[in-house]
Chains A and B, each alone.
Chain A
Amino acid sequence: MLKLSGKIIRIQAVDISKDLTLIKVSTNRDLPQILRREMAYLVSGHPLPVGFAHYLLTEQHQDLAKELPLDSDYSILPNDYDYIDNNDIVRLSADRQSIRVLFRASSPNNSILLTEQCNNYCLMCSQPPKAVDDSWILDEIESLIPLIPKETRELGFTGGEPTTNRERFLKIVSLTKSYLPRTAIHILSNGRSFRDSRFAEKYAEIGLPDAMVGIPVYSDDPTLHDYIVQAQGAFDETIQGILNLKRLGQRVEIRVVLHKLSIQRLPQLCEFIARNLLFVDQVALMGLEMMGFTRANLDELWIDPIEYKDILSKSVQILTKYGMNVSVYNHQLCLVNPDILPHYRKSISDWKNEFAPECLTCRRQSECGGFFASGIKFGYSKQLTPF
């Protein structure tokens, strides 16, 4: 798993009062001078180009620091940050001697967290909500978006609940439309804000050319859904949010995390979706992540995927009979039935993906989604069978 943030070894800034905010990284020693003034150069050897606003050196190259042009700002980073590459965007803080990698140009799954606040409190939340004012994040995002390379294929907005601050959310979406008109946008939301028709209309008016809102629905039984997300009335609001978005021609994906509680009524949920929400654009059935709250609620949530493989097949079949697009994510290949294969996606974000020792001899590792690193650490199926 990649380290995305942490302490720097040493930061040398000529102007101490200038707390560096966002900066884009370059590895191009022939970059035109005029562009160097806004970028950070990642040092990897000689020669060292002059004129960059900042220089980044990983520990292994720290000796080169002495050879930098006079009065250069630079940072020494632990070797964990070796993966940083051209067009990545980082935030450096002289104050706190820290770095955070906000955007990786080479990654297919960049995700921007808008806030950690959320009005749900899911038992299996991988990003537990915090009730702090983190509006500074929104400020930062507004600076980040203009820096993101225009040819970026996909970008995600997540949280917490990204629509918590509605006005700022709309502003960021609007900025995204302006700066990244060719990027596919995936917004993860509990959908409840969209129950407000006026808010849904404002979102639709922005008119993102290629966007999908991913909204979780965990059961056809409102009580069970509300329990899983720990919020009274959430189901009713979420469904209305979905209806409003589709009414306005917005693309919606329904997401279901599979665990012991949601598996109980999964076929009924799929029938419910087929009868009531046939017009959603796709349905994603996802394996459980062992992060965040999941570990606190393990007894209630954990079920070995091999135990529900037939229920999964039956549920997927219901949706496909009704002509819906279904994808199955975050499962290991040996734990699902063959009929799932047309819908199986190798999907764990590359920065979270690993394999178990049992998988060493497996012939089909390259087709398999692997595991969340958290899964390897905290628990996975006892019935892995290498192909």
Chain B
Amino acid sequence: MKQETTLVFDQQLYEAQVLQKAAYRAMSSLTVDIACADGKFSCVLSSNIGVEEPSFLLAVQEFKKDVIDYQLRYQLNIETLPIKNLILGLAFSKTGLISE
């Protein structure tokens, strides 16, 4: 039997890609339809065929945790992008310890 639940996220607090990534990660158990209106994202989570209620509920829980995690990743990536490029630049520069 198909399970469904709707979650609402404030656009001020979450990026769209964060929800999309969490949705992607959950795809073996459920699919997510994302829509935005009035400054909010609404996500309709539907269980995949053959997924029963206990598994669905677990997957919904995981989805919520993943949203938080991906939002943190987003924040972390933005903040560390400049230093990451600097480090990669150093890694690929001509001078180095390992001589080819």
Which residues of A are in contact with B by a Cβ distance under 8 Å? 243, 246-247, 279
Contact = CB atoms under 8 A, between A and B. Distances in A.
B48 to A, nearest CB: 42
Tell me the dominant secondary structure on chain B's binding face: loop
Contacts of B96: 247
A243 B95 CA distance: 12
A386 to B, nearest CB: 47
Contacts, number: 6
Interface residues of B, number: 3
B97 interface: yes
Interface of B: 95-97
Tell me the dominant secondary structure on chain A's binding face: helix
A246 B96 CA distance: 10
B83 to A, nearest CB: 16
Cβ-closest 6 pairs across A and B? A247-B97, A246-B97, A279-B97, A243-B97, A247-B95, A247-B96
Contacts of B95: 247
Nearest to A197: B95
A279 B95 CA distance: 17
Contacts of A243: 97
Contacts of B97: 243, 246-247, 279
A246 B97 CA distance: 7
Contacts of A279: 97
A243 B98 CA distance: 11
6 contacts: A243-B97, A246-B97, A247-B95, A247-B96, A247-B97, A279-B97
A279 B97 CA distance: 9
Identify the interface centre among A243, A246, A247: most chain B CB within 10 Å of its CB. Answer: A247
